[in-house]
Structure 1
Amino acid sequence: MDKSIELISLYNQINESVKTLQSELSNLQSHVYKIGQINTHLRKPEILEQGSIDLAITALAHFKLEAGEIVKHVNRYPGVVTVQSDHQFESLIRLIETVNQTKQTISDFLKMNGKAGYIFDDAGQKIYAANDLLFKSLPMVNQLMLTRKIDYIEQPVKQFSYSWNIDFNHQFIKDISEYLSKLGNRTLTTLPFGFTRESWLQHLASVKHKIDIELDKGHSIKVIRPKPIEPVLYVTFYDGSPITIKPKLPVLVKTKQPIEAVIRQKLPSPPNHSEKMTNGRKYTYLQLCSYTHIYSCTKIK
């Protein structure tokens, strides 16, 4: 069978499974947000909508991008759907597992039969474009939104709170000279504002000098980039330790009380990212170049 036809068949299956799940959720309580795509300049998203079960139901079938949206970014729907009946909860888990299994099948199918298309930035970093089979068969369907699983928490939830996670990506540099050389090959249109080709190369030379000094001191060198801000849920239980999750879709939870009684804090407006790494409990950080996010890292003794 043609691979595109097989993929479209799987896509139809996931839609049918989701419809069955949606029909069983319609009378439940929910609290959920729709979070827009990341603003790449501010590194934070926008809260587009706050709603209840209707928005949660919509979220489960949101697989397609709108015109102009970026393929590597997604809409998120952090929130919960609450269930008080044990029997209903178990029934919903079975439906969720059916949906998640089909999602996994699609993910495996795309991995085996499609190829990831990549473009590279001027530092040689890969930027995900799209799975070629998915793009050919279902052009507006986003792979991340199609294959992300629906989570559930079986332990009875006492309370939950919304917040935002502010974090950084840490990357060791295997070959510093090679890395700086790639940065030096940036095109004029991608140079930081105010730099010419000559002044940029001079700046990188000064960064290399700073790096050499830090290496002589025995410090490690990393690229530490700010991650986009993302919503989180802090969940507490009647027994056991609390957990933190980063939901992309509404989470099914079992509760003993109505939803109004278990929401401790709603989602505030997204904060600004600190951008610069601050000292932690194990390391101190010295930023050597703000344009390339290069840091010297010193372990605290």
Structure 2
Amino acid sequence: MSVQIQHIIECQNKFRELTQKIKQLNQYLQQNHEYIKAYCYQIGQLNPTQKTSPIIQSAGLDLSKAAYLHFKLDAGDIVKHVVRYPGLISINHPDVFTQIEEKLVTINKLKTELSEYISRYGKPNEFKTTKGDLQYVRNDLIYKALPMVNHGMLKRHIVSYSEPMLNASFGWNVDFNHETIDDIDAYKTKLHGRMNHPPDLTSAQEWQLSIETVLNKIDRLVDAGILLKNIRPKPVEPKMYVAFEQRKITIRPRLPIIALGHGEHVNLKTELKTPKPHPLQIKNSSKFDYQRLSPFLYLYACRKK
């Protein structure tokens, strides 16, 4: 069933109302800039080889305001990757902060309503770019009503902290996804199924030999009672270490957070620096020594220390 015209119109109306409310927020921020200190970083698209994203630019309040209105991807961007703006807007005036929070309630409610509307009346779909490449979009409604608007960027809330914040530091989170292989026979069957499908730039002979070697290793390791896991590198993500008077937390902001300072501005102890490449391989932890079993797979033997 094709997208209904009334759904397109309603989606566009909701989006227009949302952008209007954000512009009003930005205008209020600008009018009260004397009570504000802002730090913002635009993070580019993921480098799949290094699992990192570059810092495209860094600035203050102007970039933060642009971040709140950035919903569209540029041509060539990967649809499933949002553009992130880790940042901090520090407010040192309680009344100004209260006014901002009231505006955020309306904005975040509109974001939720619009996102739910798109999910309710749209369906997954694909389209061809100007280069002829097939790209996936969240659904056909957002594609028809709001071309190039990214659903992930549209629905993320602007987060605020009314609990007075003492200090904050930016950094990068480097981590791995761990998946224990419980069904060994099913995993071996899956590897057999990949035998005739070598990855790019790998010969069929090299690939088949690698799979056969891994299958032999699996049998020996299972007999020895060694735990097997798929351990894949996660994309490196920006994070913030935040301290309040009674607690400390770690957050991963997609947009600049808005925080009330503790009598004065939040003390930004460390700005965001250029990320180092992800190590991609894991060697050891407090509990295990890890051995990667193939350069083509993220399969590891995990030996307890």
For Structure 1 versus Structure 2, the TM-score category normalised by the shorter chain is 0.7 to 0.9
Residues 192 and 291, structure 1, Cα contact 8 Å, conserved in 2? no
Residues 53 and 275, structure 2, Cα contact 8 Å, conserved in 1? yes
1:111 aligns with 2:119: yes
Residues 30 and 82, structure 1, Cα contact 8 Å, conserved in 2? yes
What residue in structure 2 maps to residue 21 of structure 1? 25
What residue in structure 2 maps to residue 51 of structure 1? 59
What residue in structure 2 maps to residue 87 of structure 1? 95
CA distance in 1, matches of 2:283, 2:240: 24
What residue in structure 2 maps to residue 213 of structure 1? 220
What residue in structure 2 maps to residue 124 of structure 1? none
Q: Deviations over 1:234-269 (max 9, x none)?
A: 1112x222111111100001113655x711011111
Structure 1 residues 296 and 128, CA, compared in 2 at 3 Å: closer, same or farther?
A: farther
CA distance in 1, matches of 2:155, 2:188: 39
Q: Which of residues 147, 151, 168 in structure 2 aligns to 1:143? A: 151
CA distance in 2, matches of 1:64, 1:57: 15
Q: Residue 132 of structure 1: CA displacement?
A: 2.4
Query: Residue 221 of structure 1: SS of its match in structure 2?
Result: strand
The amino acid that maps onto 1:297 is: C
What residue in structure 1 maps to residue 261 of structure 2? 255
Q: Which of residues 232, 244, 249 in structure 2 aligns to 1:243? A: 249
Residues 222 and 295, structure 1, Cα contact 8 Å, conserved in 2? yes
What residue in structure 1 maps to residue 298 of structure 2? 293
Structure 1 residues 111 and 69, CA, compared in 2 at 3 Å: closer, same or farther?
A: same
What residue in structure 1 maps to residue 70 of structure 2? 62
The correspondence of residues 134-283 of structure 1 with structure 2, limited to 5 A, is: 134-173=142-181, 174=183, 175-186=186-197, 191-193=199-201, 195-237=202-244, 239-256=245-262, 259=265, 262-283=267-288
Q: TM-score, normalised by structure 2?
A: 0.87
CA-based RMSD of the aligned residues comes to 2.2
Q: Residue 13 of structure 1: CA displacement?
A: 1.9
Identity of aligned residues (%): 33
CA distance in 2, matches of 1:285, 1:276: 9
Q: Residue 57 of structure 1: CA displacement?
A: 0.4
Q: Deviations over 1:6-57 (max 9, x none)?
A: 2212211211121121112112321111111111222111111111111100
CA distance in 1, matches of 2:193, 2:29: 52
1:2 aligns with 2:6: yes
Residues 219 and 298, structure 1, Cα contact 8 Å, conserved in 2? yes
Q: Residue 152 of structure 1: CA displacement?
A: 1.2
Q: Residue 66 of structure 1: CA displacement?
A: 0.8
Misfit runs of 4+, over 6 Å: none
Structure 1 residues 91 and 196, CA, compared in 2 at 3 Å: closer, same or farther?
A: same
Query: Residue 289 of structure 1: SS of its match in structure 2?
Result: coil
CA distance in 2, matches of 1:79, 1:163: 11
Return 212-221 or 92-101, whichever deviates more.
212-221
CA distance in 1, matches of 2:176, 2:241: 20
CA distance in 2, matches of 1:13, 1:184: 53
What residue in structure 1 maps to residue 50 of structure 2? 42
Structure 1 residues 176 and 118, CA, compared in 2 at 3 Å: closer, same or farther?
A: farther
Q: TM-score, normalised by structure 1?
A: 0.88
The gaps in structure 2 that reach 5 residues or longer are: 128-134
Residues 137 and 143, structure 2, Cα contact 8 Å, conserved in 1? no
The amino acid that maps onto 2:278 is: H
Query: Residue 194 of structure 2: SS of its match in structure 1?
Result: helix
Residues 73 and 150, structure 2, Cα contact 8 Å, conserved in 1? yes
Structure 1 residues 252 and 215, CA, compared in 2 at 3 Å: closer, same or farther?
A: same
Return 213-222 or 34-43, whichever deviates more.
213-222
Residues 42 and 57, structure 2, Cα contact 8 Å, conserved in 1? yes
CA distance in 1, matches of 2:111, 2:50: 32
CA distance in 2, matches of 1:2, 1:82: 41
Query: Residue 293 of structure 2: SS of its match in structure 1?
Result: strand
The amino acid that maps onto 1:12 is: R
CA distance in 1, matches of 2:38, 2:205: 57
Corresponding pairs, count: 287
